[in-house]
Amino acid sequence: MKTQQAPATARSPQARQGVGRKAKAYLALTKPRVIELLLVTTLPTMIFAQGGFPPLGLILATMVGGALAAGSAGAFNCYIDRDIDKLMHRTENRPLVTGEVTPREALVFSWILGIIAIAVLWFGANPLTGMLGVAAIFLYVVVYTLVLKRRTSQNIVWGGAAGCMPVLIAWAAVTNSIEWPAVVLFLIIFLWTPPHYWPLSMKYSDDYNAASVPMLGAIAGARVVSIQVVLYAWAMVACSLLLVPAGAGWVYSVAALLGGAWFLRESHRLYSLAQQGELNNKAAMKVFHGSISYLTVLFLALAIDPFVGSAILP
């Protein structure tokens, strides 16, 4: 008597677990937490550019296309940096290091995501938005990862321009142009990136030194880094106020002033601890997490502004 076999279409629990594990590994390649932060700036910029809610289809196309573009850039980064990722504790569990995804699979996945992202932005919004998506991927993959990251301590400054592109993409999606408010928003994030990332690199200085990545927070002393954090923080807050004469209302203005004052206080506290020789990882990470809170509040205010805040200046 023959034993009846399970249907060919049925998957064993082990097979389903394997598929789920593979999908999770591919998702990890895209650096989802970075995507979340980028999307925080996208929708508020669209709302501000529109003066209200843009069409839902346009929002979805821009958000999905932007997320896919950021995911593509992140996956390319994981592919290129797989040799140094295995040397750092912070990145030793990435899929290319553990072997859950092969280099060939990661490279194909990166290209597919990038192509889909540009198509979504190009046809879902407009060609300018698609071209800005190409520029964002190029800045992160080529300028930052391939050219700057392993060569200069200023890598995150100029390479960080890739993280500023979502606001240009969002503005272009709504207006099919790049105007002064979009430039101001770009500069805010550009100046925000060093005081956001350098405290993190201070905590993981051993990792970066082991991988020979000259991140400023890893190769310079705490006093030097803290001075740079303070200088960039002041420049960032000053730049954020430029949006007031560009059409921002009282909600954004209050958030920019109060949020900026709070972040400046935290930055100066970091500097004081460094000067006293008492700076530790906890204090550095407080500034890192505080920078995320600051940016979130600033862009949340930007999104609320068109509905409840009238422009301070005509």
Domain ranges of the chain: 24-176, 179-314
Residues β-bridged to residue 311: 249
47 Cβ partners below 8 Å, 6+ apart? 53, 54, 302, 303, 306
Fold held by 179-314 = Four Helix Bundle (Hemerythrin (Met), subunit A) (1.20.120)
Rounded Cα–Cα distance for residues 114 and 104 (Å): 16
| Confidence at 313, pLDDT banded by 50, 70, 90 | very low
- 24-176 to CATH, choices 3.50.50.60, 1.10.357.140, 3.40.50.300, 3.20.20.70: 1.10.357.140
pLDDT (0 to 100) of residue 278: 79
When the pLDDT of each residue in the chain is averaged and rounded to a whole number, the result is 89
Apex 245 CA angle, 241 and 249, nearest 5: 80
On the question of pLDDT at 157 being above 50, the answer is yes
User: What interhelical angle do 165-175 and 56-80 show, nearest 10?
Assistant: 150
Apex 88 CA angle, 86 and 89, nearest 5: 105
Rounded Cα–Cα distance for residues 208 and 87 (Å): 9
| Confidence at 12, pLDDT banded by 50, 70, 90 | low
Q: For 275, phi and psi rounded to 5 degrees? A: -65, -30
- Tell me, yes or no, if the pTM score tops 0.85: yes
Rounded Cα–Cα distance for residues 52 and 45 (Å): 10
| Confidence at 91, pLDDT banded by 50, 70, 90 | confident
Rounded Cα–Cα distance for residues 303 and 11 (Å): 46
